[in-house]
Structure 1
Amino acid sequence: MTGLLPVEEAQARLLALREPLAPENIAVSESLGRYLSQDVMASRDQPAAALSAMDGYAIRFDDMPGPWTIVGEVAAGATAARAAGAGEAIRIFTGAMLPDGADTVILQEDVAADGTALTLTGDGPGARRRHIRERAGDFAQGARLLTAGARLNAGAIAAAIMGGAGQLRVGSRPRVALLTTGDELVPAGHVPGPGQIPNSNGAMLAAMLAAEPALVSLPLHIRDDRASLAKAIRELARHHDVIVTVGGASVGDHDHVRGALDDAGGRLDFWQIAMRPGKPLIAGTIGDALLLGLPGNPGSAFVTATLFLRPLVCHLAGANSPLPAVRQAPLAAALAPGGSRRDYLRARIEGAKLRLLDSQDSGQTVPLIEADALVIRDIGAPARDAGEIADYIDIA
């Protein structure tokens, strides 16, 4: 346990502590934000037949420029009563099946109808097969629509349904318990006494996980008492996949998370990361549950939750790429060289450039309002001038 772990090694070790949870079948309409456990294959062509992309008339292109005789009508969801013959047109609406014999749709604004007589008044379609959605133009039967591990968004849900799915197999939602610690904390809305502050971390972390596929318990608070903390950890481990402690992760006389984990029968896997903010991070196990101990300063808790808690939740829920994506953008101002730990600097993206916030104090919450990016400054990185490219993580 000597020395500080590199961030990537700590992330890998954390995710390796437990395999993703067992999958479950759910209705596709309830799958938003979940991660697929198996590929979704199309069981049908989409569209299943050539369809009109516009309102107009189905014709044979060889009959251009007309005139035509209107011999019928077809609406979406219906089939034409007859095929289109030479010199004939069939009134057609958007989404309707192209009648047999027709190979083109002419727009209604390009023609004039007088009874059953149809004449060209505009430019016409210009080419065969115009204004037609071809069979299997979206996808064909047997096509892989979605890949296992992908997160389901609104478009993915639409594609899965269109492909014939009524249910999807997705990763189960991890049960997460949030446990804040500290004698100095009072509940939200209470007036703090001398030396006390409002407890913002539990609600902040719950908000960060609100968009993730997790079942998050209401934040529980424990005072700086090792025995009480050990008892809470032991009880929470019976019904949760992840226990997140906030505060008490450092080396002070009132930092009890490491000792409480031992007392509860758990096992420490690693402690202390070569990063700033967030050095005193703890990871361990107790039974089948994982314990992740985050530092108590709001900035530190936010950064470590971004890099460790959210990826852990997504990993357990079945994500194929649970770690936050690293992007690149130019710096708006010069950046000093890196030190002995990797820095995650709160910043704003302004005019496609990264502007570091004036304050990087991990005890402050206002920078968390303003920041939409974490600029990464590696250990020992050289100084960089304005305009040079820097890595960052999007936290918008």
Structure 2
Amino acid sequence: MTLLPLQDAQSRLLDLVTPLPCRAMPLSECLGHFLAADLRARRSQPASDLSAMDGFAVEGGGPWRIVGSSRAGAPYAGALASGEAVRISTGAAVPDGADRILIKESAAQEGTALSILRDAPAAGRHIRRAGFDFAAGDTVLRSGAAVTPAAIALAAMAGHSQLPVRRRPIVAILESGDELSSDPESCSAYQIPSSNGLMLAALLSHLPCEIRRIGPVRDDHESLAAALDEVQDCDLLVTSGGASVGDHDLVGPALEAWGAATKFWRVAIKPGKPLMAARKEGCVIIGLPGNPVSSFVTAYLFVLPAMRALLGSASPLPRPLLLQTTVDLPATGSRREFIRARLTDLGAMPLAEQDSSALLNLTRADGLIERPENCAGVKSGAHVPFYPVQNGAIA
């Protein structure tokens, strides 16, 4: 069977995803979502001319007489006449009649008399003009933009208490395998702890979603059919294990019996070749390999983009950095490779152990070096795509 190139597989997967319905949500609950519509400012920021420094609001070159003060939230009442000045604090409204700010350090003051000590300010100096950040009616955030902490602050400053976002997806994570034990502290020599479900749930936890973990489920048709009956209302089903070609890899047949239509299977990547995508009515299904590193890499490349697409992201696929490799990298074969690597002062350093079951080195990796299929070797110092995957840097 011909392996599907990565970009084709990702494109086909995203074609299966329809963004979820939109709803208005309070700003305090929007972190991690994506905007479902353009956001226009309801007010200008700043709404009036403000001082950028502590000092005096003045007009012209002086000298002046101090006639009052303007503080943030308590503006000077009235306009300045020629030769008058107002003591002003950072963020305070600049009174009418003033055209510059004489900063405190440049001022000479005796009682109410004020003159310039040094560094005479030019007209407009140290004034933040009304609307300098944005004006009422401006589009401040585009549809599909990530709702970050800065975006939440911007939305509030623009006069919004709610944002239009998609509802939270329901995600089911189903682990299968006779060898899996649900209790890491009680595992026979013929079992392994069921770690993939925990890992995948943690990988998704920074996105707003409801996660249901199912399993581990035994490798037989009856057990898998019973497990699938539990996920009828899910928007995304992620399976781990049972996606390859062995006699006991029954996830594919179980999904077909459940009514899911397989859209593609097997992708030209390393690790992670036996990846499958399917759909049943409104549920998108992604079948991941069982080896932990393969499961992690394919979740990064497929599950996270599918989740972002469900939430309405304008750019759901991960974007790499360009970093120097610290060692020579050999030519690649017919599959695109994702190499676990650490960050150093000199760039990205591949880890020695790249086996798809090696979790220890996955925890030591800061990211993945991407090597295209059928690519010539490169020398140390060459720039290579690098995807950060640890410490929350998984966008």
Give TM-score scaled by structure 1 length: 0.94
Give 1:219 shift. Answer: 4.5
- Corresponding residue for 2:140? 145
Q: Is the 8 A contact 1:104 1:125 kept in 2?
A: no
User: Aligned partners of 2:42 and 2:273: how far apart in 1?
Assistant: 50
Establish whether residue 73 from structure 1 lines up as the match of residue 60 from structure 2. no
Give 1:393 shift. Answer: 1.9
Q: 1:89-129 CA distances to partner (integer Å, 9 max, x unpaired)?
A: 11112211111111111122333444323343x32443112
Secondary structure, aligned partner of 1:61 = coil
Q: Aligned to 1:388, which of 361, 379, 382?
A: 382
**Where has structure 1 moved over 3 Å in runs of 4 or more?**
112-115
Secondary structure, aligned partner of 1:325 = coil
Larger CA deviation: 132-141 vs 324-333: 324-333
After superposition, the Cα gap between the structure-2 partners of 1:103 and 1:188, relative to the gap in structure 1 and judged at 3 Å, is farther
Establish whether residue 156 from structure 1 lines up as the match of residue 151 from structure 2. yes
User: Aligned partners of 1:81 and 1:5: how far apart in 2?
Assistant: 71
Establish whether residue 49 from structure 1 lines up as the match of residue 45 from structure 2. no
Q: Is the 8 A contact 1:107 1:125 kept in 2?
A: no
Q: Is the 8 A contact 1:74 1:91 kept in 2?
A: yes
Q: Is the 8 A contact 1:60 1:86 kept in 2?
A: yes
- Corresponding residue for 1:32? 31
Q: Is the 8 A contact 1:181 1:223 kept in 2?
A: yes
- Corresponding residue for 1:5? 4
Secondary structure, aligned partner of 2:342 = strand
For 1:191, give the aligned amino acid.
S
- Corresponding residue for 2:60? 61
For 2:113, give the aligned amino acid.
A
Give 1:391 shift. Answer: 2.2
Establish whether residue 221 from structure 1 lines up as the match of residue 216 from structure 2. yes
For 2:23, give the aligned amino acid.
E
Q: Is the 8 A contact 1:340 1:380 kept in 2?
A: yes
Q: Is the 8 A contact 1:231 1:264 kept in 2?
A: no
Gaps of at least 5 residues in structure 1 are none
Larger CA deviation: 325-334 vs 5-14: 325-334
Q: Aligned to 2:326, which of 321, 329, 332?
A: 332
Q: Is the 8 A contact 1:55 1:94 kept in 2?
A: yes
For 1:209, give the aligned amino acid.
L
Secondary structure, aligned partner of 1:218 = strand
Establish whether residue 267 from structure 1 lines up as the match of residue 261 from structure 2. yes
Q: 1:152-191 CA distances to partner (integer Å, 9 max, x unpaired)?
A: 1111111111111121101222110111111211125422
After superposition, the Cα gap between the structure-2 partners of 1:125 and 1:297, relative to the gap in structure 1 and judged at 3 Å, is farther
Give 1:14 shift. Answer: 1.0
Secondary structure, aligned partner of 2:363 = helix
User: Aligned partners of 1:265 and 1:126: how far apart in 2?
Assistant: 74
User: Aligned partners of 1:390 and 1:81: how far apart in 2?
Assistant: 61
User: Counterparts of 1:327-366 in structure 2 under 5 Å?
Assistant: 327-366=321-360
Q: Aligned to 2:80, which of 79, 84, 90?
A: 84
Secondary structure, aligned partner of 2:247 = coil
Q: Is the 8 A contact 2:181 2:216 kept in 1?
A: no
User: Aligned partners of 1:82 and 1:262: how far apart in 2?
Assistant: 77
User: Aligned partners of 2:142 and 2:22: how far apart in 1?
Assistant: 15
User: Aligned partners of 1:141 and 1:181: how far apart in 2?
Assistant: 54
For 1:194, give the aligned amino acid.
A
Give 1:287 shift. Answer: 2.7
Q: Is the 8 A contact 2:61 2:120 kept in 1?
A: no
- Corresponding residue for 1:15? 14
Give 1:82 shift. Answer: 2.4
Secondary structure, aligned partner of 2:355 = coil
Give 1:394 shift. Answer: 2.1
Establish whether residue 190 from structure 1 lines up as the match of residue 190 from structure 2. no
Aligned residues: 390
Q: Aligned to 2:249, which of 238, 255, 259?
A: 255
Q: Aligned to 1:107, which of 79, 82, 103?
A: 103
User: Aligned partners of 2:16 and 2:65: how far apart in 1?
Assistant: 73
Larger CA deviation: 72-81 vs 37-46: 72-81
- Corresponding residue for 2:314? 320
Give aligned-pair identity as a percent.
44
User: Aligned partners of 1:126 and 1:69: how far apart in 2?
Assistant: 17
User: Aligned partners of 2:152 and 2:146: how far apart in 1?
Assistant: 10
Gaps of at least 5 residues in structure 2 are 391-395
Give TM-score scaled by structure 2 length: 0.95
- Corresponding residue for 2:299? 305
User: Aligned partners of 1:254 and 1:372: how far apart in 2?
Assistant: 34
Q: Is the 8 A contact 1:233 1:243 kept in 2?
A: no
Q: Is the 8 A contact 2:69 2:75 kept in 1?
A: no
- Corresponding residue for 2:393? none
User: Aligned partners of 2:4 and 2:233: how far apart in 1?
Assistant: 30
Secondary structure, aligned partner of 1:312 = helix
For 1:193, give the aligned amino acid.
S
Secondary structure, aligned partner of 1:367 = helix
Q: Is the 8 A contact 1:59 1:104 kept in 2?
A: yes
Give 1:277 shift. Answer: 0.7
Q: Aligned to 2:175, which of 165, 177, 180?
A: 180
Give 1:209 shift. Answer: 0.5
After superposition, the Cα gap between the structure-2 partners of 1:322 and 1:266, relative to the gap in structure 1 and judged at 3 Å, is same
User: Aligned partners of 2:86 and 2:376: how far apart in 1?
Assistant: 71
User: Aligned partners of 2:214 and 2:83: how far apart in 1?
Assistant: 74
Secondary structure, aligned partner of 2:61 = helix
